[in-house]
Structure 1
Amino acid sequence: MSTRPPAPDAGRPSGRREPPGDGRGGVSPTDGAFGGLPPRHAALLALLDRTAALREASRRAREVTGADIGLVGVVEDGGVAVLRSWAGTRRESLHNLVVPAGLGLGGKVIATERPWRVRDYARSRGITHHFDEPIGAEGIHAMLSVPVRDENGVIGMIYVARRERAGFGDRAVTALSGVADATALALTVADLAQAQRDAEAQAERRRIAVALHDSVGAMLFTIGAQVRDLRADAGATLEFAERLGTVERQLSEASTALRRSLAALTDAPADCSLPAAVAGDCRSFQARTGITTRSLTLTDLPELDAARCRAVLTAVREALLNVEKHARASSVVVSLAEADGTLTAVVADDGVGWSGDPREASGAAGGTVRAAGGMGLTAVEERVARLGGSLQVVAHDDAGLTVRIRIPCP
């Protein structure tokens, strides 16, 4: 039996009931997680870990198609995919299996960038049979695979499989494609979150470097100066002077090693400081208030001068302070992004607003801070305006407010 690409417009019974997806032929990547939060916040909070995203994809793929097995492959170095997540397997034969483009069902999906399916894997003439042994060890017959794509192309594939000769119909293809779309989003956000964690780690290394420079560095310099003074003392014996010389050389070596260590600690791109600072503010805010708070850097950020960095940080801190004072929120998300030469910082909460009815102040398209009545944010708005930027407050129909800060990049 040969493989065949799905015919999306042709419904066909598959011999087994296929449960529907989320009503749109897709899947919410956060079903069952963060259930107490509004959907727009839960979607951000759940998509921060790459391993968890892959695990959820394999589980959800199996669930929405009624399959026995769900597998997720990720394209890695050299363009080969590796099966990194699985659900429903009985053996380890498919775990971490390397799948080059063009080989087997998944390799065909990568090469053609489209879904493919087989009713009987071992007898299919439309695929290569490099993986018959591990497939057979799992007792697999029917199999379906769809590509996972981002803006740069195919980044992986998702499989579902059955241990019986009951093929997958078009509804399964649609549902699994929805899982693939959600997985692509989850992996993108997880990678951005990892980059932000790296930025936070670098900021911490910088803090440590400054502390070491100001304490240990200064101490070594003072001791070195005192040793030189003792050596210059005319009353010192030759033996004592030689011992002081040894101590002075050791101090010099220690100072050199410290400088090299400090250089290594502070060796990082200049644009990592703003995301790290915002992330630090979010951690402090959550620790102080108990409100679930996350920060996301959604794009690469350009290097900003000190004035712009201070303006963004001040605006974010003031927006968080207003959430703490007035919003009665359960979650806050702070995001940073750059597009068309403009840096945008967004602080979104799920609370009740800051005073009165914020919709009357902000309007559908977003209003000014003066209209919303925030004195602290009014001062921030003026500071941002001096840099050619703007600050708006936008109310949501369901709940909460968003403060949006835009500043042109230099």
Structure 2
Amino acid sequence: MTSAADGLLRPSDGDALRSELRTLASVSKLPVVFGGEVRAGTLILSEFVGTRTNSMRGLVVARSSGLGGSAVATGRPHSVSDYRSASTITHHYDGPVLGEGLRAVVAVPVVVKGEARAVIYVANRDSGVIGDRIADEMMQAGRRLAMELAIRDEVDRRLRLTFAREAVSNANTIVTEQLRDLHAELRGISQAVSDATARMRLREMTEKLARLVSGVAAPDEAVSLAPRELDVLAHIALGCTNLEAAQRLSVRPETVKSYLRSAMTKLGAHSRHEAVVRARRLGLLP
């Protein structure tokens, strides 16, 4: 059964099982109530009320073996009126069960989506049939626990989906920021290239990169920024100050300020941030 070990904030399923067993012990008035969680098809007895020994604590019950294993395998309740002489079950666990002095036993599986997730037992130290009232109480306890586990499973499922979406979103954000850094770096390099053809090819590459990241197939022809205006705006988009942009582009801060003002005017923007946002929407920046 799932636990907080998955990295999710899920309470212990063992605590929920223990709570139901205590309630069942109170209403059934039987001397022994116990149970355990099913993990990878194997039942492990872990919770006990009214036992006198530790003979069954930690007992691993294989699927189809014993009373509990049969409940796990079939997904249905199983009972014996006298464990010692019962012919309907295997007797792999006679030592610990009889060591506790148990005779009449009922085992009810807790089934979630067709899978046994736990088993609840009640037992008497005298032989004889355990009545329908107690069996009904057990079924109710099993249904309550199954509902609780199903709710926890659904919460975990939704949390995992949320975490997965956030992981993808974070990864996309990191890649986008890296591409924006690359775009600005290429714009800066293009200014230092003396060969006009090479400089043009670099600028074409940055334009394709901007369209790829922005998702805009083609920039709006109504707005056309000069190469140096785009150079400046690409660095401003990375959060650079005028001085930092100037250092990266090997120009004076006043030159950066002039190109930025011109780009803002063409974009109809009233701030640096607004200019960047509009340029991205137009596919001019990644």
Write the distance in 1 (CA, Å) between the matches of 2:66 and 2:105.
Answer: 11
Residue of structure 2 in register with 1:69 after alignment: 33
Residue type of the alignment partner of 2:167: R
1:144 is aligned, of 103, 106, 112, to 106
Contact 1:49-1:190 at 8 Å conserved across structures = no
1:189 is aligned, of 151, 155, 158, to 151
1:8-19 equivalence runs, <5 A: none
2:90 is aligned, of 114, 121, 128, to 128
Cα offset, 1:146, TM superposition: 1.9
Residue of structure 1 in register with 2:165 after alignment: 203
Write the distance in 2 (CA, Å) between the matches of 1:50 and 1:154.
Answer: 14
Q: Could you say what secondary structure the match of 2:20 adopts?
A: helix
Contact 1:72-1:158 at 8 Å conserved across structures = yes
Residue of structure 2 in register with 1:56 after alignment: 19
Residue of structure 2 in register with 1:165 after alignment: 126
Q: TM-score, normalised by structure 1?
A: 0.37
Write the distance in 1 (CA, Å) between the matches of 2:136 and 2:60.
Answer: 26
Residue of structure 1 in register with 2:47 after alignment: 86
Q: Percent identity?
A: 25
Write the distance in 1 (CA, Å) between the matches of 2:177 and 2:142.
Answer: 52
Query: Which structure 1 residue ranges, 5 or more long, are not aligned?
Result: 1-46, 235-410
Q: Compared with structure 1, are the counterparts of its residues 218 and 98 closer, same or farther at alpha carbon in structure 2 (3 Å cutoff)?
A: farther
Q: CA RMSD in A?
A: 3.5
Write the distance in 2 (CA, Å) between the matches of 1:131 and 1:157.
Answer: 16
Cα offset, 1:119, TM superposition: 4.2
Cα offset, 1:125, TM superposition: 3.1
Q: Could you say what secondary structure the match of 2:121 adopts?
A: strand
Write the distance in 2 (CA, Å) between the matches of 1:92 and 1:226.
Answer: 76
Cα offset, 1:192, TM superposition: 0.8
Write the distance in 1 (CA, Å) between the matches of 2:105 and 2:78.
Answer: 9
Query: Which structure 2 residue ranges, 5 or more long, are not aligned?
Result: 1-9, 196-286
Residue type of the alignment partner of 2:133: R
Residue type of the alignment partner of 1:55: R
Write the distance in 2 (CA, Å) between the matches of 1:54 and 1:95.
Answer: 15
Residue of structure 2 in register with 1:116 after alignment: 78
Q: Could you say what secondary structure the match of 1:128 adopts?
A: coil
Cα offset, 1:53, TM superposition: 3.2
Contact 1:144-1:160 at 8 Å conserved across structures = yes
Q: Compared with structure 1, are the counterparts of its residues 217 and 98 closer, same or farther at alpha carbon in structure 2 (3 Å cutoff)?
A: farther
1:313-352 equivalence runs, <5 A: none
Contact 2:44-2:59 at 8 Å conserved across structures = yes
Q: Could you say what secondary structure the match of 2:44 adopts?
A: strand
Residue type of the alignment partner of 1:72: G
| Deviation sequence 1:380-408 (CA, Å, 0-9, x none) | xxxxxxxxxxxxxxxxxxxxxxxxxxxxx
Greater fraction of residues in strand: 1
Write the distance in 1 (CA, Å) between the matches of 2:182 and 2:148.
Answer: 49
Q: Could you say what secondary structure the match of 2:90 adopts?
A: coil
Contact 2:77-2:106 at 8 Å conserved across structures = yes
Contact 1:71-1:86 at 8 Å conserved across structures = yes
Cα offset, 1:155, TM superposition: 5.1
1:1-400 equivalence runs, <5 A: 50-66=13-29, 67-74=31-38, 77=40, 80-83=41-44, 85-88=46-49, 90-91=53-54, 93-95=56-58, 97-101=60-64, 103-111=65-73, 113-150=75-112, 152=114, 156-162=118-124, 164-165=125-126, 167=128, 168-223=130-185, 226=188
Moved more, 173-182 or 146-155: 146-155
Cα offset, 1:129, TM superposition: 0.6
Q: Compared with structure 1, are the counterparts of its residues 225 and 108 closer, same or farther at alpha carbon in structure 2 (3 Å cutoff)?
A: same
State the number of aligned residues. 182
Greater fraction of residues in helix: 2
Contact 1:73-1:158 at 8 Å conserved across structures = no
Contact 1:145-1:159 at 8 Å conserved across structures = yes
Write the distance in 1 (CA, Å) between the matches of 2:95 and 2:194.
Answer: 83
Write the distance in 2 (CA, Å) between the matches of 1:210 and 1:190.
Answer: 30
